[in-house]
Structure 1
Amino acid sequence: MHTMTEENVSATLTIAVPVTRVFAVLADPATHSAIDGTGWVQEPVDRAPLTAVGQLFRMDMYHAGHPDGDYQVVNKVQALDPPHAIGWLTGQRKTDGRLEFGGWTWRYDLAPLGLAKTEVTLTYDWSAVPRYIRERGIRFPPFGPEHLTNSLHHLAELAASAAPA
């Protein structure tokens, strides 16, 4: 099930896996390419687990519509409340070395349903995208809402096969 407003889209799925195990999968950048429902996320550049708000982690990406095809994003952890929430803001490193974030975020909210099930809500929010980016003609969201549902199903498969946290 997914919902969409003018500024965000979300999907929710109940996973038959304990909340701590689901959170551990999400906090590991090495799993993000397998979770991604678009195929754009490739490999993590930074493999350290996500443990702190403000932590940066880079991911290699590929998108046929991107001017370079292959590119890299820098994510900044914005929400980290183990095992209930994890989220990040996506941006890039400019040629002068400074970071620029586009204003879109990814967030997972986890609610334990007993000891062995977790309700997971994935939200992609673009409400903070500045006007100058919107005026470039970038469509938000840049994917259909089924992407979030696909990602949650991938997460469920990974979490079910992961070692207990």
Structure 2
Amino acid sequence: MVEENVSATLVFSVPAARVFAVLADPTTHASIDGTGWVQQSADQAPLTEVGQIFRMDMHHPNHPNGGYRTANKVHVLDPPRAIGWFTGTEDDDGRLEFGGWFWRYDLAPRGPSETEVTLTYDWSAVPPSIREYLTFPPFGPEHLINSLHHLAELSADPSKG
């Protein structure tokens, strides 16, 4: 069986509630990103419920338009232990489509001021029609750990938590 997810784990010297607050703020996601593809959040509201949609302005040199927008749907929200979302698109009529991949952060408190954070990218539900033109994962192995290091730095900043 071929693994259809990748994950990385890092221990932060920050309480879980502060890490979760940074993750629940879509305006921080461009700074967390380890690829540089996330440009900015198109939605400013904090992530507060399962089913919530938030959009991100993106850029990738291999995308036909260069710049594009994703629509993300929160599917896990368990403060301060877990948060995750499916990534997809929204057409001009507001119809949402998700490609079968998701991001998930699991936070495990290790005392009052440390948190073990695991970031998982899972593409196990991507249909064959999408796999014909997209390669999974679409980034190198360093992406997840880079992203966790960025999240740790932001979480340590008292103005972000």
TM-score range relative to shorter protein: over 0.9
Alignment-derived partner of residue 115 in structure 1: 112
* Equivalences for residues 80-95 of structure 1 within 5 A: 80-95=77-92
Corresponding position: 1:71 with 2:91: no
Unpaired segments ≥5 residues, structure 1: none
Aligned equivalent of 1:53, options 34, 38, 50: 50
Aligned equivalent of 1:131, options 121, 128, 145: 128
* Aligned mates of 2:22, 2:160 — CA distance in 1: 10
Cα offsets for 1:34-86 (capped at 9, x unmatched)? 00000000110101000000000000000000000000000000000000000
Alignment-derived partner of residue 161 in structure 1: 157
- For the 8 Å contact 1:18–1:117, the answer to whether it is kept is yes
Alignment-derived partner of residue 105 in structure 1: 102
Alignment-derived partner of residue 19 in structure 2: 22
- For the 8 Å contact 1:25–1:162, the answer to whether it is kept is no
* Aligned mates of 2:5, 2:84 — CA distance in 1: 14
TM-score, normalised on structure 1? 0.94
Cα offsets for 1:87-130 (capped at 9, x unmatched)? 00000012443111011100000000000000000000000101
Runs (4+) of structure 1 exceeding 6 A deviation are none
* Aligned mates of 2:107, 2:130 — CA distance in 1: 31
Alignment-derived partner of residue 138 in structure 2: 142
Q: Could you say what secondary structure the match of 1:148 adopts?
A: helix
TM-score, normalised on structure 2? 0.96
Q: Identity of aligned pairs, percent?
A: 70
Letter in 1 for 2:26: P
Unpaired segments ≥5 residues, structure 2: none
Q: Could you say what secondary structure the match of 1:68 adopts?
A: coil
* Aligned mates of 2:13, 2:5 — CA distance in 1: 26
Q: Could you say what secondary structure the match of 1:79 adopts?
A: strand
